[in-house]
Homo-oligomer: A and B are copies of this chain.
Amino acid sequence: MAERTDVIVDRPGDRHRVVVVGAGFGGLNAARGLRRTDAEVVVVDRVNHHLFQPLLYQVATALLPPGDIAPPLRQVLGKRNRVVLGEATDVDVAERTVTLTQTDGRTRLLGYDSLVVAVGSTDSYFGHDEWRRWAPPMKTLDDAVALRGRVLGAFERAAVATVDAVRRRDLTFAIIGAGPTGVELAGQLAAMTRRTLRGQYPELDLDEVRVVLMDALDHVLPPYAPALRRHTEAKLRALGVDVRLGRKVEQVDEDGVVSAPTAGGEPERLSAGTVVWAAGVRAAPLTAKLAASAGVDSDKRGRLVVRDDCTVPGHPEVFVIGDTANHRDLPGVAEPAIQQGKYVAKVLRARLAGGSAPGPFRYLDLGVMATISAGDAVADVRGLRLRGLVGKVAWSVVHLAFLVGWRNRAAVLAEWAWTVTTGRRNQRVILEPVRA
Give residues in A with beta carbon < 8 Å to B. 1-5, 8, 46-49, 62, 65-68, 70-72, 74-75, 78-79, 82-86, 102-106, 108, 141-142, 145, 152-153, 156-157, 159-163, 165-166, 169, 197, 199-203, 255, 271, 407-408, 411, 414, 418, 422, 424, 426-436
CB pair A3 B48 closer than 8 Å: no
Contact with A75, one of B156, B428, B432 (Cβ below 8 angstroms) = B428
A411 to chain B, nearest CB (A): 7
- Least Cβ–Cβ distance between A330 and chain B, in angstroms: 29
The docked-state distance in angstroms from the alpha carbon of A106 to that of B163 is 13
Which listed residue (B48, B108, B407) contacts A160, Cβ 8 A? B108
Q: Tell whether, in the assembled complex, residue A429 and residue B48 are in contact, meaning their CB atoms are under 8 Å apart.
A: yes
Closest partner residue, chain B, to A415 (CB atom): B411
New A-B pairs, 12, CB < 8 Å, besides A1-B163, A74-B428: A2-B163, A3-B161, A4-B163, A48-B152, A65-B68, A66-B429, A67-B426, A68-B426, A84-B159, A84-B160, A104-B160, A142-B431
Least CB distance from A98 to B in Å reads 14
Q: In the bound complex, do residue B160 and residue A103 qualify as a contact, i.e. CB atoms below 8 Å apart?
A: yes
B66 touches A430 (CB 8 A): no
Q: Which residues of B contact A84 (CB under 8 A)?
A: 159-160
Listed from nearest, the 8 A-B pairs whose CB atoms lie closest are: A65-B65, A67-B427, A78-B200, A74-B200, A72-B428, A103-B434, A104-B436, A67-B426
Query: Which residue of chain B lies nearest to A10 when distances are taken between CB atoms in the complex?
Result: B160
Identity of the chain B residue whose Cβ is nearest the Cβ of A81 in the assembled complex: B202
A162 interface neighbour in B5, B197, B431, Cβ under 8 Å: B5
Give the residue of B1, B65, B434 whose beta carbon is less than 8 angstroms from that of A165.
B1
11 pairs from A and B in contact (CB 8 Å cutoff): A48-B156, A66-B427, A67-B428, A70-B429, A74-B197, A75-B428, A79-B202, A103-B434, A103-B435, A105-B436, A141-B431
